[in-house]
């Protein structure tokens, strides 16, 4: 059996020395993988319970068109999401085009001219810069008199509580907490840390809205930010909760009054959640959510495997291979542009779709530097599928995530190393010996 498996990898372009290193790393990860499976099982029961509680039925998979009035599937799906996240209400729609769109809706819906948004965890993801006014952009919140300020994390990744206390003022209306690291090398926030931060902020200003950008974090832990006091929690369906089956969409869950404001912003005042045709995606949304805990578990195993592999080879990785995980993203600091490009080309070569395509850095809209992206995905931009990307600028870090199955994630990581070795031969510690490739 082992010979057949080795031959299968060899046929995919993985040399025996690279596979041997991978096997060596895997032999150290059985306990970590067992814990991931335990969390996935807990999350699977949570999703299944929510579906049963809200009486998901075959009629929920039917499609609506036009206005989308009385769409049973859409309404049931939102009830399921509210139950999964232990929230009062949810907005889950195909009309939400991506995670950035979902965040924009939540920010714009719950602020008014004269209000201020505060990020207590430093600068948010690049695509939000034009929305909150860091970068000038037509239609930004700053054009409507909504200001933004931030408090950076401390050098050790902790919260600057004194700075946060000083930044909160009479105009502070909404706190934006980004759970994942984005294109930074800071640690991802755990749900427990988010809970502590929210409690601190609410102690200063109880009526402030605490919103969490939950992208890449769903089902990584047993609980979600809405379990620890978040008023709103926002994410994308082509990331974790879509399970690789959702072709588009985003979600907003939380307190009913704030979710309703989001619905009015998405559609129109007075109509809100009552309109918005499902256009045939209900089945994919339900089934993707059902599969999401297992899919996320596979992606997590891939992230840990990548961390340990590249750590062993001397690269700096965030998080470290033995650290607890709070999202599915693994960053590897490669040190030069050529290595970033090679890594991403290896990921692309392992894809089921467009494996023959050669990724190149380009000036992607919404980013402040050239970005290279590798994603041979069934759905464009789906980062729960095997993908890697990064800005081609110092410190030349690449961000790896996804994999609909653990086996595919494993192949992608090994392939990234194969392509990297073409640019930078390394001594591989295989079977207690070093082999230079």
Question: Per-residue pLDDT for 247 more than 60?
Answer: yes
Evaluate if residue 427 carries a pLDDT over 60: no
pLDDT score, position 408: 97
Give residue 365's pLDDT: 72
Q: How many alpha carbons lie under 13 Å from residue 107 in its C-beta half-sphere?
A: 31
Q: What contacts 24+ positions apart, CB below 8 Å, involve 153-157?
A: 153/121, 153/122, 153/186, 157/186, 157/187
Q: How confident is the model at residue 428 (pLDDT cuts 50, 70, 90)?
A: low
- pLDDT confidence of residue 432: 52
Indicate if the pLDDT at residue 425 is higher than 80.
no
Average pLDDT over residues 186-198: 96
The sign of the CA dihedral 247, 225, 185, 175 is positive
- The per-residue pLDDT for range 18-31, each reduced to its tens digit, is 999 999 999 999 99
Q: How confident is the model at residue 426 (pLDDT cuts 50, 70, 90)?
A: low
Asked if residue 149 has pLDDT above 70, the reply is: yes
Those residues whose C-beta lies under 8 Å from the C-beta of residue 207, and which sit 6 or more positions away, are none
CA angle 196, 189, 173 (to 5 degrees): 60
Burial class (CB in 10 A: 0-12, 13-18, 19+), 402: buried
Share of the chain above pLDDT 70, in %: 97
Is the domain spanning 62-280 CATH 3.40.640.10? The answer is yes
Confidence bin at 433 (pLDDT 50/70/90): low
State pTM to two decimals. Answer: 0.94
Q: Among 81-85, 258-262, 334-338, 412-416, which stretch is predicted with the lowest mean pLDDT?
A: 334-338
Q: How far is CA 275 from CA 215, 232, 249, in A?
A: 25, 21, 15
Task: Considering only CA atoms, give the Rg of the chain.
Answer: 22
Q: Phi and psi (nearest 5°) for 147?
A: -95, 165
Whether the predicted pLDDT of 195 surpasses 60: yes
Give me the mean pLDDT over the 204-225 stretch: 98
Give mean pLDDT, residues 249-258: 98
- Is the predicted pLDDT of residue 437 greater than 80, yes or no? no
Q: Is 198 exposed, middle or buried (0-12, 13-18, 19+ CB in 10 A)?
A: buried
pLDDT bin (cut points 50, 70, 90) of residue 108 is: very high
DSSP state of 428: E
Q: What pLDDT does 364 receive?
A: 75
Each domain of the chain, given as residue ranges in start order, spans: 2-43+290-436, 62-280
Query: d(Cα 94, Cα 252) in Å, to the nearest integer?
Result: 12
β-pair partners for 117:
148, 174
In the numeric block, which tokens belong to residue 283? 């089945």
| pLDDT given for residue 429 in this prediction | 61
What CATH number does domain 2-43+290-436 carry, 3.90.1150.60, 1.10.40.30, 3.90.1300.10, 2.60.40.740? 3.90.1150.60
What is the per-residue DSSP string for 338-369?
A: HHHHHHHHHHHHT-SSSTT-----B--TT-SS
């Amino acid at each position: 059996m082992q010979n057949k498996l080795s031959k299968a990898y060899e046929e995919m372009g993985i040399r025996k020395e690279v596979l041997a290193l991978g096997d060596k790393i895997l032999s150290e990860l059985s306990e970590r993988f067992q814990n991931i499976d335990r969390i996935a099982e807990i999350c699977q029961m949570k999703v299944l319970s929510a579906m049963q509680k809200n009486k998901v039925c075959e009629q929920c998979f039917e499609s609506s068109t036009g206005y989308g009035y009385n769409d049973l599937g859409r309404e049931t799906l939102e009830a399921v999401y509210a139950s999964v996240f232990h929230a009062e209400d949810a907005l889950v729609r195909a009309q939400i085009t991506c995670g950035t769109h979902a965040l924009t809706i939540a920010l714009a819906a719950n602020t008014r001219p004269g209000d201020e948004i505060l990020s207590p965890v430093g600068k948010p993801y690049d695509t939000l810069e034009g929305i909150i006014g860091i970068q000038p952009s037509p239609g930004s919140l700053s054009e409507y008199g909504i200001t933004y300020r931030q408090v950076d994390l401390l050098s050790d990744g902790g919260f600057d509580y004194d700075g946060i206390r000083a930044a909160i003022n009479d105009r502070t209306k909404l706190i934006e907490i980004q759970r994942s690291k984005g294109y930074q090398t800071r640690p991802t926030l755990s749900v427990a840390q988010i809970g502590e931060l929210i409690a601190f902020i609410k102690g200063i200003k109880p009526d402030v809205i605490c919103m969490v950008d939950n992208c890449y974090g769903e089902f990584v832990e047993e609980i979600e930010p809405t379990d620890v006091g978040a008023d709103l929690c926002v994410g994308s369906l082509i990331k974790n909760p879509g399970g690789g089956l959702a072709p588009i969409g985003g979600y907003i869950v939380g307190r009913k009054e704030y979710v309703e404001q989001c619905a009015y912003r998405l559609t129109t005042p007075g109509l809100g959640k009552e309109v918005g045709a499902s256009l045939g995606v209900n089945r994919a949304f339900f089934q993707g959510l059902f599969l999401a805990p297992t899919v996320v578990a596979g992606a997590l195993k891939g992230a840990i495997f990548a961390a340990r592999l590249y750590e062993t080879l001397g690269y700096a990785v965030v998080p470290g291979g033995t650290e607890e995980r709070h999202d599915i993203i693994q960053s590897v600091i490669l040190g030069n542009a050529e290595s970033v490009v090679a890594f991403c080309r290896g990921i692309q070569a392992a894809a089921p779709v467009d494996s023959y395509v050669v990724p190149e850095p380009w000036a992607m809209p919404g980013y402040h530097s050239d970005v290279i992206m590798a994603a041979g995905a069934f759905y464009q931009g789906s980062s729960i599928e095997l993908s890697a990307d990064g800005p081609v600028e110092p410190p030349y870090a690449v961000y790896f995530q996804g994999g609909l199955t653990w086996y595919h994630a494993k192949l992608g990581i090994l392939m990234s190393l194969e392509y990297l070795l073409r640019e930078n031969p390394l001594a591989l510690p295989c079977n207690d010996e070093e082999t230079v490739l």
